[in-house]
Structure 1
Amino acid sequence: MTSSLVTYEGRKPNVHPSVFIDPCSRLIGSVNVGKGSAVFYGSVLRAEEGELWIGERVAILEHCLIEAPRGVKVVVGDEALISHSAVVHGANVGRRSLVGIGAILLDGAEVGEESIVAAGALIPSGFKVEPRTLAAGVPARPIRRLSEGEVEGILRSLEEALLKAERYKAIFGGR
């Protein structure tokens, strides 16, 4: 079977041993993944000519693309949740944030900590989502501040995903 971890011109992924990586996912180049994180089915994390840093206890759900283009460092902060089919291209995501289903973040965009990017939203190049903000729309705009309960909801959803990852590690054996 082909490995999920792909070395590209000497640049290889660095993944903490506790991380779950679905066998159908690919981590290519200078991709770093922190302790307790999970990369689910069919996701691709690419950093052939950039750097990609995934924090601790991050869940990247099915069919996501996270790419660090040439010369760019992309960071996904600790305890972030990147939902199904999201695209993060040259953008940064703050800790304890949620990127919703099918959302797209373009080059230079920044999502502040404890924020939510709504499903289907488009965060344009260079746009900054302030901390604890809900951003939605195409193009996205700030909708309102998040409540403490909504931030706690992000963490509950994250915890559910990470528990599933532990079960899948048992099924697939390790990574």
Structure 2
Amino acid sequence: MTTTLPGRPGVRIVSIHGKTPQIHDSAFIAPGCTIIGDVTIGADSSVWYNCVLRADVSRIVVGERANIQDGSVLHCDPARPGDPEGSPLLIGDDVLVGHMVMLHGCVIEDRGFVGLGAIAMNKAVIGSDAMLAAGAMLTEGKVMAARELWGGRPARKMRDLDEMAVAGMRMGVAHYVENARAHRAAIDGAAQD
């Protein structure tokens, strides 16, 4: 069953296999997004224009105050022989996901950052306060520790992040929470005109 998100024109919500996306009332979902299946999106999070979150074979969880920026694609993998848990996509709180990122069955811990156009694959882990650089590809099962910067294809550790870099990421989270409120107000205002 496909519906639209109440009060949000241009957002498609698709129920499949008995699962319907659960989206917190304070979350901002931009027009052009499609949210499918077993997806949970937490308070004050934002999913920006033309993203697809497809949880038709496992689950996708987006924590609080996280943002998934324009054109990103998120998916997961089902259970398999020898892998009863499969590869759900789990995104913590205060996470920044840049434009046109592809996330597939990975884990991003609280305050993690994924740069523009990066890819993270099944069972990869981006640690707390860690950054996957723009254009990088974190291959299956690779684990980034807290406060590390990884880059390249395939991604490798480049260095540890200093306090200024971590503070910058936290400022980015606060910016996206406020910017999402501004976009919601603009869209609501346009709908009333």
TM-score range with shorter-chain normalisation? over 0.9
- Corresponding residue SS for 2:157: strand
Pick from 165, 169, 176 the counterpart of residue 150 of structure 1: 165
User: What residue in structure 2 maps to residue 119 of structure 1?
Assistant: 134
The two structures, once aligned, show a CA RMSD in angstroms of 1.4
- Corresponding residue SS for 1:4: strand
Q: Would the alpha carbon gap of residues 113 and 8 (structure 1) be closer, same or farther in structure 2, given more than 3 Å must change? A: same
How far apart are residue 54 of structure 1 and its match?
0.4
Higher relative contact order (CA 8 A, sep 6+): 1
Render the CA deviation track for 1:56-110: whole Å, top value 9, x for unaligned.
0001110001112223322101000000001001111111111000000011111
Render the CA deviation track for 1:142-175: whole Å, top value 9, x for unaligned.
111111111110011122222111011112239x
TM-score computed with the length of structure 2 as normaliser? 0.86
Pick from 89, 92, 110 the counterpart of residue 77 of structure 1: 92
- Counterparts of 1:86-165 in structure 2, within 5 Å, are 86-165=101-180
How far apart are residue 26 of structure 1 and its match?
1.0
**Are the equivalent residues in 1 in contact too, given 2:125–2:141 (CA < 8 A)?**
yes
Q: Would the alpha carbon gap of residues 103 and 10 (structure 1) be closer, same or farther in structure 2, given more than 3 Å must change? A: same
**Are the equivalent residues in 1 in contact too, given 2:111–2:130 (CA < 8 A)?**
yes
How far apart are residue 4 of structure 1 and its match?
2.4
**Are the equivalent residues in 2 in contact too, given 1:4–1:21 (CA < 8 A)?**
no
Are 1:32 and 2:40 counterparts?
Answer: yes
Render the CA deviation track for 1:21-62: whole Å, top value 9, x for unaligned.
012011100000010000000011110120111000001110
Q: Would the alpha carbon gap of residues 2 and 172 (structure 1) be closer, same or farther in structure 2, given more than 3 Å must change? A: closer
5+ residue gaps, structure 1: none
- Corresponding residue SS for 1:173: helix
Distance in 2 separating the partners of 1:171 and 1:69: 36
Q: Percent identity?
A: 32
Judge which range, 133-142 or 161-170, deviates more. 161-170
Render the CA deviation track for 1:106-146: whole Å, top value 9, x for unaligned.
11111111000000000000000111000001100011111
User: What residue in structure 1 maps to residue 17 of structure 2?
Assistant: 9
Aligned residues: 174
5+ residue gaps, structure 2: 1-8, 80-86
- Corresponding residue SS for 1:160: helix
User: What residue in structure 2 maps to residue 23 of structure 1?
Assistant: 31
